[in-house]
Amino acid sequence: MQQYSTSAISTILNKPSRSISYALQHIKRKNNTSTTLLKHKKGRPSKISKRATRVVNRDLTRSPKKTNRRILEENNLGFSTRSLQHLLKVQGYSTSTAKKKQTSNAEKAANYKKYAKKTLKTCKGLKPLRYI
């Protein structure tokens, strides 16, 4: 196997040589450490497995407007809706958040301007309401 220098790799990949050297250091450090000992996690163990979290994430990316009950029923997950709510909170999903107005391009802006002018013309033709 042929060894390349970091400068040669950086020119081939069109990346800075500093980032290549950091990546090589990271790989060497990972190869030198042993992962025989599993560290004990603090806190209460989760009822929800990693597989179940993947299933929920996949389901919500495919159809984000599903209800919690429907997610549990369709995927045959063995935990409560409260556990699902906690999982969604941990994963960063949120409901009832205000949506940002879409950015408009020149075509949309021109269409909106036409619509506004049209509605102004129709409003000018109306007689004002009289209050009794």
> Tokens standing for 119?
């509605």
Question: What residues contact 24, with CB distance under 8 A and at least 6 apart?
Answer: 6
At residue 54, the pLDDT reads 93
- How many Å apart are CA 109 and CA 106, to the nearest integer? 5
Phi, psi dihedrals of residue 117, rounded to the nearest 5°: -65, -40
Q: Which residue would you say has higher pLDDT here, 106 or 128?
A: 106
What ranges make up the beta strands (E) of the chain? Answer: none
At residue 131, the pLDDT reads 58
**pLDDT tens digits, residue range 50-109?**
999 999 999 988 988 888 899 999 999 889 999 999 999 888 887 765 666 666 678 888
Q: Which residue would you say has higher pLDDT here, 49 or 102?
A: 49
Q: Which residue in 92, 95, 94, 88 sits closest to 53, CA to CA?
A: 88
The single-letter DSSP state of residue 47 is S
* For helices 6-13 and 17-32, angle between their N-to-C axes, nearest 10 degrees: 120
Cβ burial, residue 79 (10 Å; 0-12/13-18/19+): middle
Question: What residues contact 78, with CB distance under 8 A and at least 6 apart?
Answer: none
> Tokens standing for 37?
């000992």
> Tokens standing for 56?
């929920």
At residue 65, the pLDDT reads 84
**pLDDT tens digits, residue range 1-39?**
468 788 888 888 898 989 989 988 998 888 887 666 667
